[in-house]
Each structure stands twice: as structure tokens, then as C-alpha cells.
Homo-oligomer: A and B are copies of this chain.
Amino acid sequence: MIKKEMVPFRFSDKEVQCWFGVSFDDIREQLSDKRVIWVTDEHVYQKYPEEFPAGECIILPAGEAGKNQDTVNTAIEELLNMEADRDVFLVGVGGGVVTDMAGYIASIYLRGVKFSFAPTSVLGMVDAAVGGKNGVNVGLYKNQVGVIRQPEHLFYNFSFLNTLPELEWISGFAEIIKHACIRDAEMFQFLLNNSLEDFRQDLNVTGDLIRRNAELKYKVAAGDERESGQRRLLNFGHTLGHAIENITTMPHGFAISIGMVFACRLSEKLIGFDPEKTEALKYLLKKYHLPTETDFDKEKAWDILVHDKKKSGDTIHFILLKGIGEGVVHPLSLSELKTLFFEM
């Protein structure tokens, strides 16, 4: 088993206790002096019903479709009905949708109560739960509402991965590959030398990989929580990816995978990224069962893309690659991007 260990993640206004290799019992013990209300979704609850005490648990609908203000309003009403006061402690247990919403609910309820996360998916563990971004979608537009606020703890219970569906494994590895592309060429090679099946069979190795990714995400996000500098690198593949995700409703990681290939092509055109490296990325993505292209309505995608919240005036900070492991922020005018986008 993976050794239990606490690593402090130091953000500008808070130190998050990041616990690797813990069990449900460890989490309960850590929070034994608090009134904990658990926030999870239908899927996680069905798999682990005995872990969630009746009456102290909010069960959200599963999936991206329920990631909206209506779901948050219902949760707020449940908290009021439970007479949860300012000392209540929310623990979000689930994938990225659950932790994004649990963090947002905790941030606005009574103008903010404390919270922690126990991510249950690869994507949640390596990405969504780390960095303090939370929120909900507004119609087709992703994460247009939310705040930035760090949890008290991150609890990594790798046993959740035993019940994680294959599609979720695949989707999560898209973010791992993204991390490799922007910051970790060595990990890119490590991923090439292994396969999804290897990782699914050896949770010890996977635990180490997830920790490496959580720490990478933390280091890129810390000190730039509001994303005005290097945190932008984490959007590699996401500008087009979010648009494709919205119009095709494919899983997040799948859409991001296609977005990464697009960003590599753009990198070739704009900053001389080696086309062979694009092929290497495509090979790696396919190896992890991720798509590298899809048919989609370009006009529709463009409309969503221009609403992208990373836009600043007429400039989009597009993330390109100089090399594998070398992401760069490249300011691009909307008109320039539009021409390139419709050409490609």
C-alpha cells in the first residue's frame, strides 16, 4: 500500500494539508472534532453508501449536466434545513464536478464555511481538486460562475480507483498527458513506456504518478491563483477543448485531447514546434485510448470559444508548446486566431 503522508501545499493565502494514501477512516479521524456534512453524487453514494451518515449528507446529481446554480440552490436549502451553522465543515467526495460544486457551495454558504476534498477520479485527483478553482456552468458556458478558494485538506484515497470506470481512467489521463506536455518531458517518456492497463493493474505506481501530477498542478497554480501568469499553462488544450466538450458533450478529457492536438498544430505554425513531436503526442494519446480528432460544427465552436473566460479584451492567451515539457503563453488577437482556426 501507498504510505500515508502529508505534504503542505502553500497557496498565497492558505496552507492546504494534502494527505496522500489515506482511507475513509483516516479522513473521519482527521475531522473528528467537527460537524462534517458530506457532499457527494449519486454514483459515488451508490458505491459507498455505508460511508455517508444519513442526514449529514448532500447527494448531488451525477455528471456535468447538473453542474449548475439550480443544483447549488438545492444544496443550500438542504444545509439550511440541517441547521448547518458557520462551524460546519463540508467534505466533497467525488470527481471534478462534485469537488467544484462542493467548494463553491462552501464558499458562498453563510459567506463561507470551511471545506475539504476527497477526489475519487483520476481527473479530480490530478487536476480539478487542486488549485482552489470552483464553480458551476451557465448554460453552455463552462465555469462562468464561481470563486477561487482553497480547501483545508486534500485527501487522496486511492482505493476509490478500484471502482472507477474505464472511461474515467481514460479521461483523467488526458490531464496527466497535458501536464507532461507543458512541464514534464520525463513524465511524457514514462507514459510512453507504460500503458493505461499497466496503471490500472498497479495502484502503487498509479498513486506515485497521481502524486507527481498533483504536485505539478500545485506548483504551477500556487502564487498565481487568479491566473494572470503561469497558471494559464494549465489551459493547454482547453480553449478549443471546452468548446468541443460543450457542443459534442464528449467527456472532458476526450475533448481536451483533441484540443491539445489542435494547440500543437497551432504551435507548429506560430512558434516552430516540431511536427514530429505532434505525431509523438498523437501516438501517446491514442495509446491511452484518447481521440485526436473529431467532426464538429466550427461556427458553433467559435461562438463558444469567444466567450471563453480566459479572454482579455480582444486577446486570447493561447497555450502553445515550444517543445515537449515546454508550454508557453502566447497572446493572440481574436481575429488572428479566427483566421487560423477556420483554415485548419
Known contacts A76-B145, A80-B141, A80-B307; decide if A108 and B135 are in contact (CB<8 Å).
Answer: yes
A226 to B307, CA, bound (A): 34
User: In this assembly, does A26 line the interface, its C-beta being within 8 Å of a C-beta of chain B?
Assistant: no
Residues on the B chain within 8 Å of A109, using CB: 144-145
Is there an interface contact between B143 and A111, defined as CB atoms closer than 8 Å? yes
Interface string of A68-102 (1 = CB under 8 A from B): 01000100110010010111000000000000000
Is there an interface contact between A313 and B144, defined as CB atoms closer than 8 Å? no
Interface string of A180-194 (1 = CB under 8 A from B): 000000000000000
Q: Which of A109-149 contact B (CB under 8 A)?
A: 109-112, 133-135, 138-139, 141, 143-148
Interface size on A, residues (CB 8 A): 36
User: In this assembly, does A309 line the interface, its C-beta being within 8 Å of a C-beta of chain B?
Assistant: yes
User: In this assembly, does A311 line the interface, its C-beta being within 8 Å of a C-beta of chain B?
Assistant: yes
A133 to B110, CA, bound (A): 10
A77 to B146, CA, bound (A): 14
Is there an interface contact between A87 and B147, defined as CB atoms closer than 8 Å? no
User: In this assembly, does A30 line the interface, its C-beta being within 8 Å of a C-beta of chain B?
Assistant: no
Closest to A143 in B: B111
Interface string of A249-262 (1 = CB under 8 A from B): 00000000000000
